């Protein structure tokens, strides 16, 4: 992004374009590359992609200038950490509420209910990660199982194999709680479960 912005700066600094078609060609190429970069670094329907759309149809110089402004805004927002989407923020608040509920239940000795709530929050988050990364969440009209979505996310490079195995282990604990195998885990494991899921959701927002 920095490289494309710098190249655009050089081209836009030259004000005399009246008789040089090669500058117009360079401007079109740079405008296209800036548009592609912004699209790659944002999600569909973001304010940045909407702004890009307003530059369609402009002559090369002005389209380049328009896309340059969008790119600079995105770069600065990335550096400032201001690019969390509203959806991610709402999800984060919701998950935080459920995990706090799980914390409270665990503190009162209800480890099984805490494990179920934490596991359900994890599965919903995994599904949301699939949606965010354009991965299908259903097959033949039926929702995919959590293990399948977990494998899909690993295959898509959203996280690595170690993370996939950790999520599989967490899902196994949730299943034990949901099916009444209460003696197969203890309060310490549920505490690690809650803390681990909270950390995972912060690292991989959806």
Structure confidence by residue, pLDDT tens digits, 64-112: 999 999 999 888 877 776 655 555 655 666 667 788 889 999 999 999 9
Q: Which domain holds residue 29?
A: 2-80
Report, as an integer, the average pLDDT of 5-12: 89
SS3 state at 139: strand
Report, as an integer, the average pLDDT of 185-197: 96
DSSP state of 204: S
Stronger pLDDT, 172 or 17, i.e. the higher one: 172
Residues 97 and 197 in one domain: yes
The confidence band for 20, taking pLDDT boundaries of 50, 70 and 90, is: low
Q: Which of 34, 61, 80 is the last residue of a domain?
A: 80
Percent of the chain exceeding pLDDT 70 equals: 89
Number of domains in the chain: 2
Residues 55 and 95 in one domain: no
Task: Collect contacts of 82-90 with beta carbons under 8 A, ≥24 apart.
Answer: 83/42, 84/205, 85/43, 85/46, 87/206, 88/205, 88/206
Q: Which of 80, 105, 131 is the last residue of a domain?
A: 80
Whole-model pTM above 0.75? no
Distance CA(55)–CA(68), nearest Å, equals 10
Residues 44 and 117 in one domain: no
The tens digit of pLDDT for each residue in 137-190 reads 988 888 899 999 999 999 999 999 999 999 999 999 999 998 999 999 999 999
Q: Which of 56, 80, 104 is the last residue of a domain?
A: 80
Of 98, 145, 104, 90, the residue nearest 118 (C-alpha): 98
CATH number at residue 185: 1.20.120
Percent of the chain exceeding pLDDT 90 equals: 50
The confidence band for 18, taking pLDDT boundaries of 50, 70 and 90, is: low
The confidence band for 33, taking pLDDT boundaries of 50, 70 and 90, is: very high
């Amino acid at each position: 992004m920095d490289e494309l912005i710098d190249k655009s700066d050089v081209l836009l600094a030259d004000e005399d374009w009246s008789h040089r078609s090669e500058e117009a060609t360079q401007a079109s190429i740079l405008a296209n590359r800036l548009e592609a970069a912004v699209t790659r670094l944002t999600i569909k329907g973001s304010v940045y992609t909407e702004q890009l759309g307003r530059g369609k149809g402009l002559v090369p110089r002005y389209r380049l200038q328009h896309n340059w402004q969008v790119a600079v805004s995105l770069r600065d927002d990335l550096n400032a950490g201001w690019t969390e989407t509203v959806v991610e923020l709402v999800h984060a608040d919701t998950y935080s509420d459920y995990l706090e509920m799980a914390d409270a239940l665990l503190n009162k000795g209800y480890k099984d209910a805490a494990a179920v709530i934490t596991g359900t929050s994890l599965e919903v988050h995994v599904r949301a990660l699939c949606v965010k990364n354009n991965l299908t969440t259903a097959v033949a009209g039926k929702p995919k199982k959590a293990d399948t979505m977990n494998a899909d996310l690993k295959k898509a490079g959203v996280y690595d194999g170690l993370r996939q195995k950790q999520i599989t282990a967490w899902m196994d604990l949730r299943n034990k709680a949901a099916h009444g195998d209460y003696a197969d885990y203890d309060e310490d494991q549920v505490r690690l479960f809650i803390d681990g899921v909270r950390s995972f959701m912060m690292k991989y927002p959806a």
